[in-house]
């Protein structure tokens, strides 16, 4: 049943894609003077506190040029009018923490390790292409993909193929290989005599740290991703402990280098010493931030550090309760909601991120919205975290995550009211990226 549904959705999208591709054979940024008017019953524009009723969005090429009350202006001659009926229109969503090179690996099927040890790079790239399409189908028109997990610079090629119109997918901000230390990333647990590949670029010392950042930036990384904590467990007092990886000198070298290139640094950090070094070292975004102290919240506010929490992923498949990893899995969930509430109350800037790829791409990315609301955000705050706030994190304020003149024409629609139930964001019925319709399950009047 489930596979049949998936298949029909897939077929539909392929058909729609062909239409979209035909109309924009040139690269998306060079979309022609095609003029479209999107008519909407309710508009959530990404920045305003309230939705607006009965609006029209004028799109020319790949940009939004005007937004106005429906019926107050004649449509330009030759414009294509898309009446989205009773649906709610929003900016294309942004997921700031994805992994298109992961597929929610289950241990029984070889888990993480088999990806690096047995799968050809081409197989992993093929699946990454599918993952990218899945993001776009679900209304995520932009992603920050935070490392390829042993697939080297593979994200650069996927991004290029999307930008050149060869495959459908969101616009991508990529980090390439990511950085950790010896003893700070898988593959692990093999005989010491055997050299196995690692899922990130491992460095030791500030010289190697800076060199790794330079290499990645030189090859085209949009961001640098660093793992500031690695192993985690529950100690005798019942507290969550995470192993710190980079020293302060190492992370400072990376941040200094990246900032010199006007690029930013995303730091995976659970809690404790590693998270503190991330903050002291000047990281731009804390990924996960499972357990923030009051002092760390204050430091984040002062420094303008972002939090990308990724709540939902930690609810997946905990190990049995009495095992060390099972205890760890439950503790992560227990402290994470508390940390999120604390950050929210304290005024930390929060952007939407999910770690999808850590769970399968067939599951809804938008499940994260319900967790953000469960732990204290209003639905509008959660939506803005995935639109205008996420755009701000990416340095794209006014360009992405907003429906306003001058922004890229990334527009989605859902049936129902996401402010009453954020769950409706799991069923996106219309997706436009760069002014081209990728997906529409809505019937046009007269169809």
The structure tokens listed for 344 are: 């929210």
Stretch of 226-234, 272-280, 347-355, 402-410 contacting Zn ion, by CB under 5 A:
347-355
User: Which residue's CB atom is positioned nearest to Zn ion?
Assistant: 355
Compose the 11-40 pattern: x for residues touching Zn ion by CB under 5 A, - for all others.
------------------------------
Choose the binding region for Zn ion from 58-66, 350-358, 394-402, 410-418 (rule: CB under 5 A): 350-358
Q: How far is the CB of 266 from Zn ion (least distance, A)?
A: 9
Instruction: Tell me: does residue 291 bind Zn ion (CB under 5 A).
Output: no
Region binding Zn ion by CB under 5 A among candidate stretches 131-139, 225-233, 353-361, 438-446: 353-361
User: Is the CA virtual torsion 25, 31, 35, 36 positive or negative?
Assistant: positive
Nearest approach in angstroms of CB 334 to Zn ion is: 20
Q: Which of 76, 164, 174 is nearest to 434 (CA)?
A: 164
With respect to Zn ion, which residue has the nearer C-beta, 144 or 439? 144
Q: Which helix (H) or strand (E) holds 91?
A: strand 88-91
CB of 425 to Zn ion, least distance (A): 21
Contact between 355 and Zn ion per CB under 5 A: yes
Task: Examine residue 187 and say whether the peptide bond preceding it is cis (omega within 30 degrees of 0).
Answer: yes
Q: How far is the CB of 91 from Zn ion (least distance, A)?
A: 24
Task: Specify the stretch interacting with Zn ion by CB under 5 A; choose among 73-81, 239-247, 349-357, 424-432.
Answer: 349-357
Minimum CB distance to Zn ion, residue 357 (Å): 7
Minimum CB distance to Zn ion smaller for 102 or for 400:
102
d(CA 385, CA 366): 12
Is residue 368 near Zn ion by the rule CB under 5 A?
Answer: no
Q: How many residues bind Zn ion (CB under 5 A)?
A: 1
Distance CA 302, CA 436 (A): 40
Q: Which CB atom, from 45 or from 355, has the smaller least distance to Zn ion?
A: 355
* SS3 (DSSP) at 224: strand
For Zn ion, the closer CB: 200 or 292: 200
The sign of the CA dihedral 333, 338, 341, 342 is negative
Question: CA of 359: how far to CAs of 102, 111, 296, 354, in Å?
Answer: 8, 12, 29, 9
Closer residue to Zn ion (CB): 178 or 366: 178
CB 7 within 8 A of CB 35: no
Cα separation, 323 vs 327, in Å, equals 6
Query: Which residues fall within 8 angstroms of residue 37, CB to CB, at 6 or more apart?
Result: 56, 57, 58, 59, 75, 76, 79, 80, 81, 82
Question: What's the closest the beta carbon of residue 257 comes to Zn ion, in angstroms?
Answer: 22
Q: Compare residues 250 and 287 and give the one whose CB is closer to Zn ion.
A: 287
Cα 410 to Cα 344, 345, 353, 401: the distances in Å are: 27, 31, 18, 8
Q: Which stretch binds Zn ion (CB under 5 A): 123-131, 254-262, 346-354, 355-363?
A: 355-363
Nearest 5°: phi and psi at 400? -125, 160
H-helix or E-strand spanning residue 69: strand 63-69
Pick the stretch among 82-90, 118-126, 319-327, 354-362 that binds Zn ion (CB under 5 A).
354-362
- Strands 88-91 and 411-414, bridge-based pairing: antiparallel
Per-residue binding letters, 296-335, with Zn ion (x by CB under 5 A) = ----------------------------------------
Distance of closest approach, residue 105 Cβ to Zn ion, in angstroms: 13
Tell me how far apart the alpha carbons of residues 425 and 132 are, in angstroms, rounded to a whole number: 18
Q: Which of residues 88-107 bind Zn ion (CB under 5 A)?
A: none
* Binding characters for Zn ion, 181-220, by CB under 5 A (x = yes): ----------------------------------------
CB nearer Zn ion, residue 159 or residue 225: 225
Q: Strands 52-60, 35-43: parallel, antiparallel or unpaired by DSSP? A: antiparallel
* Contacting positions for Zn ion (CB under 5 A): 355
């Amino acid at each position: 049943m489930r596979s049949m549904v998936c298949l029909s959705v897939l077929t539909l999208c392929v058909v729609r894609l062909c239409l979209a591709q035909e109309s924009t054979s040139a690269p998306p940024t060079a979309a022609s003077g095609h003029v479209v008017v999107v008519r909407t019953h309710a508009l959530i524009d990404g920045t305003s506190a309230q939705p607006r009723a009965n609006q029209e969005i004028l799109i020319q090429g790949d940009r939004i040029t005007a937004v106005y009350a429906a019926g107050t202006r004649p449509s330009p001659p030759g414009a294509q009018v898309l009446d989205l009926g009773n649906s709610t229109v929003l900016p294309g969503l942004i997921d700031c923490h994805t992994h298109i090179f992961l597929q929610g690996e289950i241990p029984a099927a070889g888990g993480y390790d088999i990806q690096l040890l047995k799968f050809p790079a081409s197989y992993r790239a093929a699946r990454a292409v599918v993952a990218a399409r899945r993001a776009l189908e679900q209304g995520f028109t932009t992603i920050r993909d935070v490392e390829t997990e042993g697939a080297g610079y593979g994200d650069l090629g996927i991004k290029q193929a999307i930008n050149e119109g060869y495959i459908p997918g969101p616009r991508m901000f990529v980090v390439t290989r990511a950085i950790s230390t010896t003893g700070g990333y898988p593959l692990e647990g093999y005989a010491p005599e055997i050299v196995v590949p690692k899922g990130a670029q491992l460095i030791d010392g500030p010289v190697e740290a800076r060199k790794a950042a330079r290499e990645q930036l030189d090859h085209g990384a949009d961001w640098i991703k660093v793992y500031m904590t690695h192993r985690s467990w529950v100690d005798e007092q019942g507290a969550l402990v995470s192993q710190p990886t980079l020293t302060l000198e190492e992370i400072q070298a990376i941040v200094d280098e990246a900032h010199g290139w006007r690029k930013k640094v995303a730091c995976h950090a659970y809690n404790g010493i590693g998270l503190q070094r991330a903050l002291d070292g000047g990281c731009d975004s804390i990924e996960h931030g499972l357990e923030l102290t009051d002092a760390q919240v204050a430091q984040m506010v002062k420094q303008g550090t972002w939090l990308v929490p990724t709540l939902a992923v930690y609810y997946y498949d905990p190990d049995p309760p009495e095992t060390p990893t099972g205890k760890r899995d439950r503790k992560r969930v227990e402290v994470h909601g508390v940390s999120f509430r604390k950050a929210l109350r304290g005024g930390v800037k929060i952007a939407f991120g999910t770690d999808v790829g850590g769970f399968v791409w067939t599951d809804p990315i938008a499940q994260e919205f319900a967790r953000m609301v469960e732990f204290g955000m209003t639905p509008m705050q959660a939506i803005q975290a995935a639109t205008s706030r996420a755009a701000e994190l990416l340095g794209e304020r006014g360009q992405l995550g907003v429906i306003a003149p001058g922004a890229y024409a990334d527009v989605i629609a859902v049936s129902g009211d996401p402010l009453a139930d954020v769950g409706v964001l799991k069923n996106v019925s219309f997706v436009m990226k760069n002014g081209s319709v990728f997906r529409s399950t809505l019937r046009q009047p007269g169809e």
